Amino acid sequence: MTHGVLLEVAYDGTAFHGWASQQGQRTVEDTLRGAIAAMDPRVTQVRGASRTDAGVHAEGQLAAFDTERDIVAKGWTLGVNQHLPDDLAVRAARAVPAGFSPRFAAAGKRYRYRVLVDEVRDPRWRALAWRIPELDVDAAAAEARAAVGTHDFAAFRASGDERVDTVRTLSRVAVERESDPRVVAFVVEGNAFLYNMVRILVGTLVDVGRGRREAGAVARALAAKDRALAGTTAPAHGLVLEQVRVRLPEGAGDRWPP
């Protein structure tokens, strides 16, 4: 009998060419599918929740697949990990109905973008944060308030995004210091996102915090729907997909680890 398995996946995106399968490139999707196929060769498709870009990291990416093998959630978590490299891991698994797609069941996502405010390079943060020499955190936080709510985010998407519907709802855009006082985190939560939307939004907030754009830049870009009025696209390596919230269907099993 065919049933589904939902995996929670974490990865260091530094050496991956993004999530989505690409011929001749090392991707998260292909690497994960290969590890799953080592346990069940009949698995040929993995359905991801988010197509993260090259260099972007994840702590809570979701991926589902269908199988006829009768293996408990713990077995999938431990078994798939035996076939994965050190920069990719299954953190949890649970049973779901066959055909379940985390992308279409997603109720919201949370991203965290880290900026290292330091005039001197720090190798420990080179793949995890965008280093800039100075930042007015209060100015960036004040600017972030304009992005909260339901808006047309056409100005905050890359040119390759051709979707007609560009209205999205952000429930939270926060700017906060982490335990290392040099590290400033931009936390963005919403129902869905356009291509490069978080990175362009963070880049705009950083531009205001560095005095490169005047306060009110986010509101002006939203109103005009003009990409030229938004800021720079923040580098990929500072971004982490922290969580994908999904509406679980009836019949979903317990998560392991709980």
Catalytic residues: 53
Planar angle of CA 236, 190, 127, nearest 5 degrees:
20
Buried b (16+ CB within 10 A) or exposed e, 129-138: bbbbeebeee
Whether residue 134 contacts residue 210, with contact meaning beta carbons closer than 8 Å, is answered with: yes
Residue in 156, 138, 129, 149 with CA at minimum distance from that of residue 231: 156
d(CA 149, CA 240): 22
Indicate the SS3 state at residue 84.
coil
Half-sphere exposure of 10 (CA within 13 A, CB side): 9
* CB-CB contact of 170 with 147 (8 Å): yes
Backbone dihedral angles phi then psi of residue 140, each to the nearest 5 degrees? -65, -40
257 upstream amide cis, omega within 30 of 0: yes
Helices and strands: H and E segment counts in the chain = 5, 10
Burial class (CB in 10 A: 0-12, 13-18, 19+), 57: buried
Taking CA 4 as the corner, what is the angle to CA 45 and CA 251, rounded to the nearest 5 degrees?
Answer: 155
